[in-house]
Structure 1
């Protein structure tokens, strides 16, 4: 399974979390790094998963409190038309990232990036090294955690076929792998998720406190409001 890690959700998180999370990250950026209120999703597996248990296509519709909905769709099936593109539509224009090489805006005020094109990996490392030299550490931990959890939210909405809220995500009890797995151990991962059957795991509600047992002839103790 470790060699075939991508095809197992407990190792890769599935494609929506492992790869498409970059587009989810841009969705969060466009929404001011605020989490969505809810998400509903679809997904499934059309082609055998090479002994794994992940989906090969997803669609997640994230909704924010102001009613705005952001859609995230992905497919990883050989032989199909494919592209990697992010589109943000506003009242006065459309921002397109990933089509034509450089980002551009088409609308009332048309814009296209005309600066020097650099490798994105070089740019992020240049920014990191400069911050270290200046003693101004770059810490994107909060943003990365948000984007990851929003991606997991979409995955769970697709896995279960249910509408998932942000509060539910914060309380989620999902754990895809054992805590004490060691090299050489045998581990059977969960089966392929089935929307409508697979459950979203929340912590069990606490059991109500039982009133102390009463002696014969006495009334049970009553709690004060």
Structure 2
């Protein structure tokens, strides 16, 4: 028997140090983020909780497509620190793997549909925002019913600002976002561009996150 999850909101944007976001997260009495994962993953998981509850069973009708930037410094720093302390963790190694954050998000919310990570700073025009274009293709072909479309810019450490935008989109939502490109304000990076598209599309944002 499939247990459908009810979305809480279609869109959320977060910005701040991980420590500050953790305090806000715990104040809402949500489940704590996955322990010992990179801080970029923790911010994505916080954003995910604002949009939907974790599924009870693997959800093959939900996919994920995100762009991730500034991960290399975080991975390298964590790896060097683990070597120095003798507590080497498999996730922390010198060569950055940007899809680690997407994987953590999918594992937490049991997203079992297609999942793709892009490491480029894509923004306007819409054709240059590949996560949105790819999500629209998946939805149009019927592979999935909804896609987590996101962008995250990871700070160098948990005390630095990390910013992300995450949209839980169905086919109608992606069409609206593509049509709203002309209304979206100028953006300096992929996070700002995606958040601007969501706002210009009239998507309601999760509050109190």
Higher relative contact order (CA 8 A, sep 6+): 2
What TM-score comes out, normalization by structure 2 length? 0.28
How high is the TM-score relative to the length of structure 1?
0.26
Higher Rg: 1
Which is helix-richer, 1 or 2?
Answer: 2
